[in-house]
Structure 1
Amino acid sequence: MTTGKTTETPDAAPLFDLQSLVVAVRRRRRLWCSLALLGLLAGVALAVLRPPPPSAVTKVLIAHEDDQPNDTGTLIRTDVELLGTTRIAAKALHTLKSGENPEDFMKEYRGTGLTNNVLQIDVTGESDADAVARAEALADTFVADHVKRMREAAKAEAKALVDQRDRMRDELAAVNKEIGDRSPETDPTESASIESLFARRAELNSRIADFDQRAEEARVGTPKVVAGTRIVDAPRAVRHSLPKSAVTNGVIGSVLGLVLGLAVAAVGAVVAGRPVLRREIAVHLGASVIAELRTPPRLPTAPWRRRRARTARERLTTTLTRSVRGTQESVSLLELGCARTTSAIALDVATALAAQEPVAVVDGLPGPQLAKGRAPQGAPTVVSGDQVASLPQQTRRLGVGSVAPGTAWTDLRYLGDQTLLVVRAGHGSATWLHTVARQLADQRIPVIGVVLVDPDPRDRSDGTLWDGLHIALRGHSERLARQSGTGQPPTERSSWAVRVPDTDQEAR
């Protein structure tokens, strides 16, 4: 019994791949690191160019007559709202002898309830002295207003209690007049009514005493409120530290820039739909990843890093040279997003092949990357496409071209009968990778494999397709027919072509 694996087609792939998203965001670290640095610089610049205005702060202890231990802060919130009224602002401006509009002045200060009885007032001004004066005027005005309101409330309450007591006294006088000199003993016939009058008089005396006591308590409560409401922290200017403000603003700006950069990178990765994992690129192109090459750093690196990069470059050259030498047909290197790297790879492979046979590199790139590139010592000759006919018959051709948007697909056949795709990870979209695979199949150009440039170092996915041969997945039947000596190509494309990975159609 034979078992095998099948590669998941794009139709069966999940709509959202978290691993691909994480890799795509990590690959765009330059973007979000740049935005984080930009936010850091913007925060520091904001702290330097726009320092906070001069400000002062003071704290006021407020005593409330209705204070309760379980109060949830309702009274102090009421005081904060009263502080932000035009009446308080106008009185403070009158104390300062300022003609400023109260509505405008209200925008320059704010109150904050620290506890149920402590109110903090923050004020800005043109200078430290002006801010301190404004804070003092506001605190004095608010304390005076609070004391005045408490006194008026206590006075109104005491007056109401005294008025009620006076009405009770008038009623008591009427009851006493009605009783006169009578008593239940002197007038037995009306003893019941006389007893009720005596009971009413006792009740009135009790209520009068109660009203007297409550009125006295209302009067006594006001001095406690007056004495308890005062400024506990004298107005003082707030000292602003430029280094501290710069660090704080820089950290905030850096965090905001980082979050924005990550969001932009994530949204861009989802919208662009550019495969970055080995398995995705292999599935979309319909060819296995046979080699990888990381882009060398632009900045100077440690010697062991350079030695490691050089070893990887030599290993790649050996692998590609073995693949090209193992076939009698001409081979081309077609790039997608890495023209300069492909040019260097082609020159290295051609130099290795030139040690055993004559080799010529056919330049089919649209740009000057190969013509003006730095060729290694002993590298073969580079010719253009119109000079191919003049090459000797025994000379091996190694074509270099591009499958980027705008490619002349019909010209790729003249660069080589087979091809190696050199693709930069995350450069082409899934749709364009499908287009490349379909166009190469239409031109009957088999793909030996894919060389992945700049892969993600943390990518552990498998780039080998398990539903076909390891290399040359397209046109393999046709090559077998030519190698067997029949020389008769199949009349139908279905006899040599395999399924082109496309979401909406197949290559017939």
Structure 2
Amino acid sequence: MTTRTTSTTSQSPAAAPLIDLQALVVAVRRRRRLWCALALVGLLIGAAVAVLLPPSPSAVAKVLVAHQQDQPNDTGTLIRTDVQLLQTTQIADRALRSLKSPEKPEDFMKEYRGTGLSNNVLQIDVTGDTDAEAVARAEALAEAFVADHAQRIRDIADAEAKGLLDQRDRLQKQLAEVNKEIGGRSADSDPKAAASLESLFARRADLTSRIADFGQRAEEARIGAPQLIAGTQIVDAPRAVRHSLPKAAVTDAVVGLVLGLFLGLALAAVGAVVADRPVLRRDIAANLGASVIAELPRRPGRRWQRRRTRSARERLTTTLARTVRGSAEAVSLLELGCARSTSAIALDLARALAAEGPLVVVDGLPGPQLAGRQKPGDPTVVSGERAAAVSPRERRIGVGSVAPGTAWTDLRYLGTRTVLVVRAGHGSAAWLHTVARQLADQRIPVIGVVLIDPDPRDRTDGTLWDGLGTALRGRSERPARPNGGGASHAVQAVGEGPRPAERQPMWAARVPDDDQEVR
């Protein structure tokens, strides 16, 4: 019976996007401890700042400012001018003199600020060593500003009135000259003399009218000034601002939480891009050139999840035991970033096969990982020189590591066929390529990959449909068509060599030549 398969090869490197957003999101989510910790640190720092560094005592006052050029369509230009005038040494010096303070105006200007609330309302905020001092400073500043504004209005009105009166006096001199000319002439029968006298009378009437107009305008200029001065006043008496410690703590804590969370997410994203550590099963399978055959959590999990974890481990043990029974060669388990989980899997497998005959577990892991997990009645665990004395008639299960620093030439002594036990997100893509290439150089086929600590939301396919020569799922399958047809590649049985038209795994297209390889 033949089985037809579908080719689902991964995307070629040339067509792959610069950044895989799905992998990036998964990597950031897996590093939630980092950004949650930074968010918590920001929350605590914000609350601590509010408690340990309370704001200085402050006071606020509001001043109603009347302008001579007030317009209904004013965009706030006049009140912004008043804000800038408040921040001048002249007003600061006048306020300090009323307070009899020796402080420099330049230093005092740093302790208060003005804010335009509307076109005619100015708010003054002042800080001090105590609430009383802040209130006194606010009152002095408000009074100094009102006095300065009133003085400027008077000066403008006086200057305008003086200009109008000077113009009136000049016209009065011209009127006196015209009156003098009129008095020196008499009306006679000469038509030209009568016309000239008539022109002088018209000139005198015009000058008299203009003199009266300038006088009236001068009076109006003086009359409008008191109205503007009276309209500029303190409408909200200076008062101390009460600070609520709980409210400030909550506000600062929320700000710190947001900043810490943003910083944590940014660091996690940048770290995921720079480190390039595959976390999706499709990426791990593509980089190692072997399919993912099982998944196990790194920790037992919560109480309602432990039953599911035990079932998954039992299924994995059954699958590996069936593979070891049907293999004439020794099988090894090689870990990458999960020595404890690999030790547990190896011991479970050894216990399942111990009843069928003599069995020895060859420990090639760094440290006492296997020895520390043994129970009474477990199969024998040997390591080092004792492994060479194991009888060839005894079934062996090798346990080793492919972490950086591995003695690659010793891996064949653990087993000529292997199952890789890889922790998701532990090894970089470059190191996964190195592992696949080194195992290929040692002629150690990879039966499959056991993924430890997978992402629970990962929905990608970890099966390589183009490399079935050593996959567990291809043990009893045969090609669907002799020369290919509907499927791009036919399924092979275990032990068959790769066909000439079969695609190579991803690492084979990326690794350098033998003379360029960096071990």
TM-score (norm 2): 0.88
Deviations 1:38-67 (A, max 9, x none): 000001111111111111111111111111
TM superposition shift of 1:135: 0.8
TM superposition shift of 1:258: 0.6
* DSSP-derived class of the 1:501 partner: helix
CA distance in 2, matches of 1:18, 1:184: 107
TM superposition shift of 1:403: 0.6
Deviations 1:294-326 (A, max 9, x none): 12257xx3x322222222222222233333333
Question: Structure 2: any 5+ residue segments left out of the alignment?
Answer: 476-491
TM superposition shift of 1:13: 2.4
- Could you tell me which residue of structure 2 aligns to residue 307 of structure 1? 307
TM superposition shift of 1:224: 1.2
Query: Which of 92, 100, 103 is residue 89 of structure 1 equivalent to?
Result: 92
Write the letter of the residue equivalent to 2:242: R
Change (3 A) 1:196 1:22: farther
CA distance in 2, matches of 1:192, 1:323: 136
TM superposition shift of 1:497: 11
CA distance in 2, matches of 1:210, 1:166: 12
Change (3 A) 1:5 1:497: closer
Moved more, 316-325 or 363-372: 316-325
- Could you tell me which residue of structure 1 aligns to residue 333 of structure 2? 333
Contact 1:71 1:116 in 2 (8 A): yes
TM superposition shift of 1:23: 1.0
CA distance in 2, matches of 1:286, 1:48: 57
TM superposition shift of 1:398: 1.0
Let me know the Cα RMSD of the aligned residues: 2.8
Query: Which of 57, 61, 64 is residue 58 of structure 1 equivalent to?
Result: 61
CA distance in 1, matches of 2:296, 2:493: 34
TM superposition shift of 1:359: 2.3
- Could you tell me which residue of structure 1 aligns to residue 445 of structure 2? 446
CA distance in 2, matches of 1:127, 1:283: 69
- Could you tell me which residue of structure 1 aligns to residue 232 of structure 2? 229
Deviations 1:95-132 (A, max 9, x none): 11111121111111111111111111111111111111
Moved more, 424-433 or 461-470: 461-470
TM superposition shift of 1:502: 4.4
Query: Which of 170, 174, 180 is residue 173 of structure 2 equivalent to?
Result: 170
CA distance in 2, matches of 1:348, 1:482: 25
- Could you tell me which residue of structure 2 aligns to residue 14 of structure 1? 17
CA distance in 2, matches of 1:310, 1:332: 22
- Could you tell me which residue of structure 2 aligns to residue 424 of structure 1? 423
CA distance in 2, matches of 1:352, 1:2: 33
- Could you tell me which residue of structure 1 aligns to residue 369 of structure 2? 369
TM superposition shift of 1:12: 4.0
State how 1:398-409 maps to structure 2 within 5 Å.
Answer: 398-409=397-408
CA distance in 2, matches of 1:425, 1:3: 26
Change (3 A) 1:419 1:10: farther
Change (3 A) 1:396 1:507: farther
- Could you tell me which residue of structure 2 aligns to residue 317 of structure 1? 317
Change (3 A) 1:472 1:387: farther
Write the letter of the residue equivalent to 1:235: P
What count of residue pairs does the alignment treat as equivalent? 493
Taking only the aligned residue pairs, the percentage that are identical comes to 71
CA distance in 1, matches of 2:369, 2:455: 25
Contact 1:438 1:507 in 2 (8 A): no
Change (3 A) 1:324 1:218: farther
* DSSP-derived class of the 2:462 partner: coil
Change (3 A) 1:377 1:230: farther
Contact 1:288 1:471 in 2 (8 A): no
Contact 2:467 2:502 in 1 (8 A): no
Write the letter of the residue equivalent to 1:363: D
- Could you tell me which residue of structure 2 aligns to residue 241 of structure 1? 244
* DSSP-derived class of the 1:419 partner: strand
TM superposition shift of 1:413: 0.7
Moved more, 494-503 or 115-124: 494-503
CA distance in 1, matches of 2:260, 2:494: 60
Change (3 A) 1:483 1:128: closer
* DSSP-derived class of the 2:508 partner: coil
Q: Is 1:295 the equivalent of 2:298?
A: yes
- Could you tell me which residue of structure 2 aligns to residue 411 of structure 1? 410
Query: Which of 247, 252, 257 is residue 255 of structure 2 equivalent to?
Result: 252
* DSSP-derived class of the 2:96 partner: helix
